[in-house]
A and B are shown apart, each in its own frame.
Chain A
Amino acid sequence: MSLHRDDYIDLCAGYALGSLDEGDRVRLERHLDEGCEACEKALHDFSIGAKLLAGSLPAETVGSALRDRVMIAAGSIRPGAPATTGDGAEPAKVLKLERPRRTFAFPALGWGLAAAFAIAAALFWSKLETARTDLVKLREEQRWAAVMNAPGARLAQLAPTPQAAAASFKGRAFVDPATRRAVLVLDGVTAPAGRDFELWAIRGGAPKALGLVHADASGHAVVRLEDVGDPATLAAFAVSLEPKGGAPTPDAPTGPVVLVGKVEG
């Protein structure tokens, strides 16, 4: 265990601000890894100081769409999945493959190593496939995030109707007229047993079914529509509470409409 020295406290101050040079950061983290109550206490205090400093800046208003973007992206990524960009976190573990020898003094040892090599290769291949799958998912998320960031994107705020059972129903829709894709983020849409929520597009006063809404256990749902139809005639979105499986006809909700929002822009 390395002994605590006062100069480590200097490093703790820079660490809390994130301004330590790499060599100092590594030196301090090695010391911290061995355990040092004095430095841990200093880091706790200095990190509170860092928060207070950041809080001294003028308050700024962040766009409301950011939350949706984050939650949509998080919904498709499992926690702990490897990052695709450098973030200073520890590197991913990589299987080290040894080059097999050409001859073996003992055949059994050779077969054993061959089997180990095969297992390692299979594991490596499995990890490669996982990375490829993650990349495909990430690209898919980027494609949908582009809907919300599109320059001419049209927005709709969905609010509960008087027929809604709960005021916690809410939603937001983004439509990219150029690609005709749409993303809707809905909250509070936990369907009662034996019922389903169904999404509708309203054009010229007439509803058109867009499909069922599948929410998670918290009532949060993200609906992605590859082609929402002609954006020029799209007036509003609505959500109705239907029998299990949805309304029997695609142009007339049978249950109460609980959410509705006009498409602006």
Chain B
Amino acid sequence: MAESEQDRDVACLLRIQTGDTRALGELFDRYTPLLYSFVKRILKSGADAEDTLQDVWIQVWRRSTTFDPRRGTVAGWLLTVARSRALDRYRSLSSRRNAETRSETESAPPPAPRDPATAAVAGQTGERVREALAQLDPKQRQAIEIAYFDGLSQSEVAARLAVPLGTVKSWTRQGLMRLRELLPAEEWT
């Protein structure tokens, strides 16, 4: 992410705090495609993903002051809010057990984007990330994927993989740091 992108996102949050709905619209347009794919991956349902995203954006509108730039980027914060909301819905739908069963067979890297118009640039970045993921140590990749895309906490990941919690923490850090080495530097600025 370019620094200007983070600055632009923070400026949007500041405008949202003054009640500027256009700022909310800008942030919505910028991040909804990313958040929707992410939430749908967790919930396996487009309708549930849309309802969840509605809650997410209302939460952003209500609680933009809870964003702390010292704890990561705006995009990262939005993804954390979306993940949390998606898991709340998951639990309320009592479908987590089914989803975990499905995830056993869905941990392979996802297929390429279907819609080329949605962007070449995003598609190229996504392809690079998938290639980088494929180069990770399989244990690191698995720890990251089932935590992030299947919504498991680190202790749940440890139980799933039958390894100590500390090992999962290390694998997660090592995997993310390895990704940083494998991906072009401009993706991380």
- Chain A residues near B (Cβ < 8 Å): 7, 9-21, 24, 32, 40, 43-63, 66-67, 69-71, 73-75, 77-83, 85-90, 216, 218, 220
Contact = CB atoms under 8 A, between A and B. Distances in A.
A51 B34 contact: yes
Given A19-B147, A47-B79, 10 more contacts: A14-B169, A17-B147, A21-B153, A44-B72, A56-B129, A57-B126, A58-B114, A62-B33, A62-B53, A216-B21
B70 interface: yes
A56 B85 CA distance: 20
Nearest to B66: A89
Given A14-B147, A53-B144, A66-B53, A77 B61 contact: yes
B136 to A, nearest CB: 11
A151 B94 CA distance: 24
Contacts of B99: none
Contact of B169 (A13, A45, A51, A220): A13
A96 B170 CA distance: 43
A56 B24 contact: no
Main secondary structure of the interface of A (DSSP, over half): helix
Contacts of A75: 21
A261 to B, nearest CB: 21
Contact of B70 (A24, A40, A54, A218): A40
A47 B109 CA distance: 20
Contacts of B28: 67, 70-71
B138 interface: no
B58 interface: yes
Interface residues of B, number: 88
B153 A57 contact: no
B96 interface: no
B16 interface: yes
A155 to B, nearest CB: 16
**Residue among A45, A53, A88, A218 having the largest count of chain B Cβ atoms under 10 Å:** A53
Nearest to A23: B155
A70 B77 contact: no
Contacts of A57: 37-38, 41, 110, 126, 149
B59 A87 contact: yes
Nearest to B31: A51
B129 A79 contact: no
A26 B71 CA distance: 13
B57 interface: yes
A124 B70 CA distance: 34
A70 B173 contact: no
Nearest to B173: A13
B135 interface: no
B168 to A, nearest CB: 8
| Chain A to chain B: the 10 pairs with minimum beta-carbon distance, closest first | A47-B76, A47-B72, A19-B147, A56-B129, A59-B113, A13-B173, A10-B169, A57-B37, A62-B36, A54-B38
A70 B152 contact: no
A43 B176 contact: no
Nearest to A43: B72
Given A58-B111, A73-B54, A13 B66 contact: no
Contacts of A17: 144, 147-148, 172
B153 A19 contact: yes
Given A57-B37, A57-B126, A20 B154 contact: yes
B21 A71 contact: yes
Contact of B50 (A21, A24, A45, A62): A62
B82 to A, nearest CB: 9
B46 to A, nearest CB: 7
